[in-house]
Amino acid sequence: MVYYDWWVYIILAIPGIFVFVMNWCAYICSLRGRFVSGVPIFGGLWIAVVCLISPCKWLALIGFADTGVWLLIVALIEDYIIPGKKTENDSTEEDE
């Protein structure tokens, strides 16, 4: 397999790094009280793929640090694995 200089992989990773940083910014803004939506999985997946084609394959683990990965997992667990969980909107509709 042909490996390029390190700067080639950094250039390929720039879109993923941008989305990765914006997901963290959106998460921090949401913690402060203003909801901002992030892009789930895209930044972490992009970084993981670029790292997997680079010589340092273990760097692909950085993709798991993306908040979109963990928030998507939590959302899927809440919606599909624990379907009996009621929200505030569900209880007000049943009372009427």
**Cβ within 8 Å of residue 40, ≥6 positions away:** 68, 69, 71, 72
Q: CA–CA separation, 48 vs 60, rounded Å?
A: 4
Q: Is the pLDDT of residue 68 over 70?
A: yes
Longest dimension (CA), the chain: 66
pLDDT of 64 reads 85
**Mean pLDDT throughout 59-81?**
82
- Give start and end residues of each alpha helix (H) in 32-82: 42-53, 67-76
Residues of the chain with pLDDT > 70, as a percent, come to 83
**Residue 45 contacts residue 65 (beta carbons within 8 Å):** no
**Residue 50 contacts residue 16 (beta carbons within 8 Å):** yes
Q: How confident is the model at residue 86 (pLDDT cuts 50, 70, 90)?
A: low
Least confident residue range of 24-28, 53-57, 65-69, 92-96 = 92-96
